[in-house]
Structure 1
Amino acid sequence: MELSRILKPAAVKVFAAASSKKRLFQELGDVAHSTYGLDASATVEALLERESLGPTGVGHGVALPHARLDGLERVVGVFIMLEKPIDFGSVDRQPVDIAFALFAPEDAGVEHLKALALVSRTLREPALCSKLRANPEPTTLYALLTEAQSTQAA
């Protein structure tokens, strides 16, 4: 599985700020709607429902919100970089400025887990996160993400 199969260039965005975790989820839902045709409100609701089970902020300024949705045929992703980090309830209590959301079909057991592991592995690299933060341009972010992942696979 490759990030370029999960993430479209149009699903990579930079926002100045989000006032809260819920507002970030709304931004993720809007991007998922415009890029993949997903229902924005259903997407936000699914993210909030998943988040109620426990925070998806994995530390070091990174969050990996994810949800299962009806009507999807495969796992898709949305990447948002925030210029101003927000409190996310992360495990290390650090504010989040990188969010990579995954949306999976209701019945995508192993595929969903593989995608989550891939994104987690990719964003666990401090050098990559530093490059992402230093280059807040969507096309550059997409290139860094997909290039980093293909380099790791080699």
Structure 2
Amino acid sequence: MKLTEFVIKEAILPTLKATSKEAVIREMVASLKASGTISAEHEEAVIAAILKREELGSTGIGNGVAVPHTKHASVEKLSATVAISQAGVDFASLDGEDVFILFMVVSPPDRPGDHLRGLENISRHLRSPDFCKFLRQSSNTVDIWDLLVERDESERES
């Protein structure tokens, strides 16, 4: 599974404006809505589902990264977006550090395998210090998308 198969290019947020955990989640879900991935009628329900998941334990996995996620019947397929915060956000991360890179994943409840494969794919890439460094340096959607394409291609070659 490639990043570019489920990250919605039109939903990428290269300069996140939000500065709190809930506001970040709202801004990212709004970007998925604006891209047509999530309907306006389901926006608040998806936000609530992600916030509920965060109550179980922060998806701030450390090293300046968070991967908020949920399963929701309003999406037809595994969908994700990427957001970059220049200032950093307190996401109650496992290491106590602010988050700068966020991948949000929303998938249909009847496709748990896709959900897990998507999260695994994202976390595998996020273990690369270079990938994270280049993501943080990206200042626009094209740069972020090109980086995702490059990662997909390098994975295919290995």
TM score, norm. by length of structure 2:
0.92
Within 5 Å, which residues of 2 pair with 1:1-154?
1-35=1-35, 36-38=37-39, 39-154=42-157
Give the drift of 1:95. Answer: 0.2
One-letter amino acid matched to 1:116? L
Give the drift of 1:16. Answer: 4.8
Residue deviations 1:91-112, cap 9 Å, x none?
1111001110000101111111
Range 129-138 or range 97-106, more displaced: 129-138
Residue deviations 1:39-95, cap 9 Å, x none?
321121111011111000111100000001113221000111111101111111110
For the residues of structure 1 that align with 2:38 and 2:49, how far apart are their CA atoms?
15
Range 51-60 or range 13-22, more displaced: 13-22
For the residues of structure 2 that align with 1:104 and 1:112, how far apart are their CA atoms?
6
Write out the 4+ residue segments of structure 1 that deviate beyond 4 Å after TM superposition.
none
One-letter amino acid matched to 2:18? A
One-letter amino acid matched to 1:2? K
Q: Calculate the aligned-residue CA RMSD, in Å.
A: 1.3
Q: Give the number of the structure whose residues are more often strand, by fraction.
A: 1
Residue deviations 1:96-152, cap 9 Å, x none?
011100001011111110010001111111001111112221110111023113312
| Secondary structure, aligned partner of 2:14 | strand
- Kindly tell me: are residues 8 and 151 of structure 1, through their superposed partners in 2, closer, same or farther at Cα, counting changes over 3 Å? same
One-letter amino acid matched to 2:46? T
Overall identity of the aligned pairs, in %? 30
> Which stretches in structure 1 are left out of the alignment for 5+ residues?
none
Q: Given that residues 14 and 83 in structure 1 are in contact (C-alpha distance below 8 angstroms), is that contact kept between their aligned partners in structure 2?
A: no
One-letter amino acid matched to 2:53? R
> Which stretches in structure 2 are left out of the alignment for 5+ residues?
none
Give the drift of 1:13. Answer: 1.0
| Secondary structure, aligned partner of 2:117 | helix
For the residues of structure 1 that align with 2:49 and 2:102, how far apart are their CA atoms?
16
